[in-house]
Amino acid sequence: MAKKVSKSRPMSVMAPYNFIPFENKVSKVDEEVMQVRGKLSNDLISGEISYTVQAKTPIFVDDGNEQFYKDEYNRYAIPGTTMRGLVRANALVLGMGDYSNDIEDYGLMYRNVANGAEKYRYNEILGNRLVKIGKDDNNNDVCISILKNVRAGYIANENNKYVIYGTKVEQVSKATGKVNYYVLNEKNIQTQKSEKGFKFFKKHPDFLQHNLEREFVKSVDRRDRVHYNGTKNKSYKPFYVEITYENKDRVITAVGEKGEYSHKGYLMGTGPMNEKKALYVIPEISEKMAVDINYTYKQSLVDFKRDLEARRNSLKRYQCTSFFELPKKGKIKPVFYIELDGKLYFGFTPRLRLFYDYAIKEGYRVDSSKFDYVKSIFGCIDGKVGYKSKVSFSDAVVMGDVNGIISKKVILGEPKPTSYLDYLVQNEGKVTNTYNSKGFELRGAKKFWLHRDVVESKSNDNDNVKSLINALPKDTKFEGKIRFQNMTEAELGLLIWSLRLEEESEVNIGKAKAYGFGRCKVEDVVVNCYDLKKAYNTEKFDLDPFDENCDKDNYILAYKAEVKNKYNIEIDELESVQALMLMTDSTKIPNNELTRYMELGKKDSGYRMRINELIPLPLLSEVVYPNDSGTRKSHHNNNPSAPSGMNKSNSKGNRRSNDRGGYNKKQESTGYTPFANIKDILK
């Protein structure tokens, strides 16, 4: 049963980022404009732009070793690649750029154990069923949850090709479906710890998620559900270890060292969760190959590796990231897997992460452009033909002395596209869109909010998940240059605008943006254009071959005029441009409490509440103007001839009639839209 997006106001939801919407139409330039490298023409402009960057909060640009980046002369600097990325990101918005090459095309994975939009689908794929196992002291039925479609096996790396072998136990019982492994409950181990068969755990207490010497405490919640809470073992880490065991039917009666009991296998403890008490006994490996992953499910292997890399930082909290990795060449390790409907899911817990039906890029529903302003300025590859960049960014080097280093440890929790309530277009009161939803749509380009000051990272005793920040102090200044060659007036105008933005604009540079590090002002922008007659005069050498009449504002106006002429729109009035200007406006920085990460982990945390109730990310206007009652409906754009009306030319027809931007009257009645009409807000 599909779950619907909450109708609750989302101001209890906060995040340090939001999204710049994609425009339905992208700009187009002719191929001849791309092929100007190395040419000389009075119609094209070459020269350099100098600028300064002033840090309004402490700034940290990592050199890869948790130290601030230094250039070849041992000077603190912002790398040219960092500045290039910043300017290009702005140019994609201001230049109506094509994002198709910026969006990775791979499948995501998810796990919805107890909540979320895909809870029912998730449990159906795993075959989650309640199975009666007996009676309690009051003659009531005792049931356990069984994942009937999940099997255990062993994944092997054979010359860097991966295969899965089965176990010598084909099936634990008919009642448990395909299950061929045994489940041990820590509460039961505790009650039998003095018995011979379970003394193994007295010898190895760190194999348990809870302290064996502390009793589990029974409690009943308001829904009359019984819970048993133990004392967590802080030394526990996910593991697998070779053991021997005895069993009676599907119940493990003894666990011991190698050679102690008659059956061979592995004991496996997976990542800890609230109230989780399960350990798994996986029987001895079979010589029979179950799955040849490389041959049959190669894409699943690729997506599994990508998912692991995306989660690597968050897995540090388990203090054993190698547990979640694929085995190295010639090695083998226990694994859980499902083969179902032509798909393979595998991992290192029975509660597997599953692949979504659709890859990320399938949600980018904008007609691509072979060549646009951004590709023309920054270069691109078209098939086997490459077009060089017209710009070169030098490092922005620190000016003057640096007054000390600010060292802090923070959790760098990079938001992931798996957060469908953030990354995908949602509609209030309608079925929640995930990467399993046919026709889902990406919300836009992610961007971090500005912060007035550095905010403290939420307390966390686990230093394994923290990164060291060695920041330069507030007011540090850097000086950089951009050299450009053979650009049109419009291209140069877009480049200048993308660097400086508007008078009140500021940008985020470097790491730890979520905590307010790296809020910067780009200023002192000076444009020097080469005078070709001076630069290439063979009779007289000129040390200053620049045109003194190079007005940066005129070039920006030239770009806007060209867009107006080509597309009949005012570029400043596009939703995406207004969103960028709002998120970079230093006079409208939201309250820190509205742009922080929500608390994770606790079952009653704000984040868990949000997932349970399916509350999407707030509108930009709701974050900037949180006390403006009725914001959600008062900022819709009901003018069908407004600039985003350029979308009418889109070949996809009425696709956006109820999507992300409040673009038409129909949305007035359908409810939630991720973006307000910012032109109205700024009046």
pLDDT tens sequence across 256-275: 999 999 999 999 999 887 77
For range 99-113, the mean pLDDT: 86
Are 13 and 618 in contact by the 8 Å Cβ rule? The answer is: yes
Q: Is the pLDDT of residue 632 over 70?
A: no
Domain locations in the chain as residue ranges: 10-103+364-681, 110-358
157 DSSP β-pair partners: 162
Looking at residue 584, the DSSP 8-state letter turns out to be T
pLDDT, tens digit, 9 for 90 and up, residues 241-255: 999 999 988 889 999
Interval 164-179: pLDDT, tens: 999 999 999 888 888 9
Q: Give, in degrees to the nearest 5, the angle at Cα 250 between 247 and 256.
A: 30
| pLDDT tens readout for residues 555-602 | 999 999 999 999 999 999 999 999 999 999 999 999 988 898 887 655
Rounded to whole angstroms, how far apart are CA atoms 25 and 665?
20
Show the DSSP H helices in 531-649 as ranges.
532-535, 552-567, 575-583, 606-613, 620-624, 631-634
- Give the mean pLDDT of the chain: 84
Q: Assess whether pLDDT exceeds 80 at residue 670.
A: no
> How far, in Å, CA of 370 to CA of 487, rounded?
18
| Pairwise CA distance, residues 306 & 108, whole Å | 8
pLDDT at 602: 53
- pLDDT at residue 606 in the model: 67
If pLDDT is split at 50, 70 and 90, which confidence band does 4 have? confident
Rounded Cα distance between 468 and 409, Å, is 5
Give the Cα separation of 347 and 338 in Å (integer).
9
Cα distance between residue 279 and residue 270, in whole Å: 7
Residue type at 239 in one-letter notation: F
Angle at 262 between CA 258 and CA 265, to 5 degrees: 55
Give SS3 for 247: strand
Which of 287-291, 621-625, 644-648 is the least confident region?
644-648
| pLDDT of the residue at 195 | 78
Selection from 602, 453, 604 nearest residue 57 by Cα: 453
- Helix, strand or coil for residue 248? strand
Sign of the dihedral through C-alpha 36, 42, 46, 52: negative
Number of residues that this document lists for the chain: 683
* Alpha-carbon gap, residue 620 to 626, rounded angstroms: 10
**Ramachandran angles phi, psi of 131, nearest 5°:** -120, 130
Query: 392, 476, 403, 405: which is closest to 77 by C-alpha?
Result: 476
Which H/E stretch holds residue 299?
Answer: helix 298-311
Q: pLDDT at position 358, please?
A: 93
- Comparing C-alpha atoms, which of 239, 183, 193, 200 is closest to residue 216? 193
Which residue is it, tokens 């820590």?
186
Please write the tens of the pLDDT for every residue from 39-82. 666 689 999 999 999 999 999 999 999 999 999 999 999 999 99
pLDDT band at residue 662 under the 50/70/90 scheme: very low
Rounded to whole angstroms, the Cα distance separating 83 from 394 reads 9
Dmax (CA) for the chain in angstroms is 107
Burial class (CB in 10 A: 0-12, 13-18, 19+), 588: middle
